[in-house]
Structure 1
Amino acid sequence: MARNAEETRRKILTAATEEFARHGIAGARVDRITTVAGVNNALLYRYFGSKVDLFDTVYSRVVTELIEAVPLDADDLPGYAGRLFDYHEAHPAAVRLAAWRGLERPESPVPEVVVKAQRDKAARIAAAQRAGTVPSTLPPESLRDLLVLLTLSGSPFGTTEGGAAEGAAGGDVERARRRETVVTAARALVGG
């Protein structure tokens, strides 16, 4: 029975991740999530409580996966920016979920996993600044945040000079150009 419950939760979370990434919290529909997951609405509410609780669970899960997949290396901040760019390209739902959370749940507390990861990253950058391997021009928190923002410059929320959404269009050559721009900008930011 526990195995079936785990499988049901996994199916709901997978379907909910896609639904929330596409439609946000307000636009997401429980019936679409449960149809894709192949379960009934009662199971969704039983395992997750409410649609908002389900979103919070999905968001925490996606952020945890990102944090584990792309650790910050303070000795190679441009490389970190490149790896984070790659992750965002491969997992666009992570970027979209973060945007929806900021738009629809700005008052909700940030998941503890995010708070801990942000503190840890700033501490690593501060240690590298004290060691002289990273310039101290910016506070570590600001440098961390700027690196993350750089990686989003080619995301589906970025725009071309003409203002049209560029997103992931343009194929491998365009993606490589955008990635190189992110890494080059990160290198300039840290004086490398």
Structure 2
Amino acid sequence: MGGRAHDELDRLASAVALTGAGLDDIGDFAGATYDYHAANPELGRLLQWEGLARGPAADVARRSTHYREKVNRFAQAQRDGVLDAGLDAAHLVFALIALAAWWQTVPQLAEMITGASGDDPGEHDRRRAFVVKAARRLAAAR
């Protein structure tokens, strides 16, 4: 992957920084991730290309550190009883990113399933609201 891909992946990591670990923050995190992917649909293609290339990830050390920080915050919230402790914290972070990003990565599939285009502002708002609500429900303490 070239320098542009590295730059874009770095921008994503900065744009969706997790500011806390409460349920509202997790919903906000998922919403911010959705917003970033909606504004930068080429990112999904870059991530898919990175996966297809099967080579080393772009800037793996810095990106890993960034995501491990999120995992650690989620794990702390689990220990504090704020989040469902029965979920693997790393898998939860990954699932929330996938939940938020996949709408832009496979827009044709999303339209086939929902019957609505993501280009429609109302549909965009409904999808974002779903992502936020689903993230909060998924992570809620049991």
> Could you tell me how far 1:163 is from its partner in structure 2?
5.9
- The answer as to whether partners of 1:154 and 1:167 remain within 8 angstroms in 2 is no
5+ residue gaps, structure 2, are none
1:168 equivalent in alignment to 2:110: no
1:66 maps to 12
Taking a change above 3 Å as real, the CA distance of residues 62 and 145 of structure 1, as seen in their structure-2 partners, is same
1:41-71 per-position Cα deviation (integer Å, ceiling 9, x unaligned): xxxxxxxxxxxxxx33222211111111110
* Matched AA of 2:136: R
CA distance in 2, matches of 1:84, 1:109: 20
5+ residue gaps, structure 1, are 1-54
Taking a change above 3 Å as real, the CA distance of residues 167 and 120 of structure 1, as seen in their structure-2 partners, is farther
| Consecutive aligned runs of 4 or more in structure 1 exceeding 4 Å deviation | 163-167
Work out the number of aligned pairs and report it: 136
1:87-113 per-position Cα deviation (integer Å, ceiling 9, x unaligned): 11111122221111111x213245222
The structure with the larger Rg is 1
- The answer as to whether partners of 2:116 and 2:123 remain within 8 angstroms in 1 is no
> Could you tell me how far 1:122 is from its partner in structure 2?
0.7
1:108 equivalent in alignment to 2:56: yes
CA distance in 1, matches of 2:115, 2:91: 27
Identity %: 30
Higher relative contact order (CA 8 A, sep 6+): 2
Q: Which moved more, 1:156-165 or 1:119-128?
A: 156-165
CA distance in 1, matches of 2:51, 2:116: 21
> Could you tell me how far 1:168 is from its partner in structure 2?
3.4
CA distance in 2, matches of 1:164, 1:144: 25
CA distance in 1, matches of 2:70, 2:10: 14
- The answer as to whether partners of 2:30 and 2:135 remain within 8 angstroms in 1 is yes
1:155 equivalent in alignment to 2:101: no
TM-score scaled by length of structure 2: 0.84
1:16-60 per-position Cα deviation (integer Å, ceiling 9, x unaligned): xxxxxxxxxxxxxxxxxxxxxxxxxxxxxxxxxxxxxxx332222
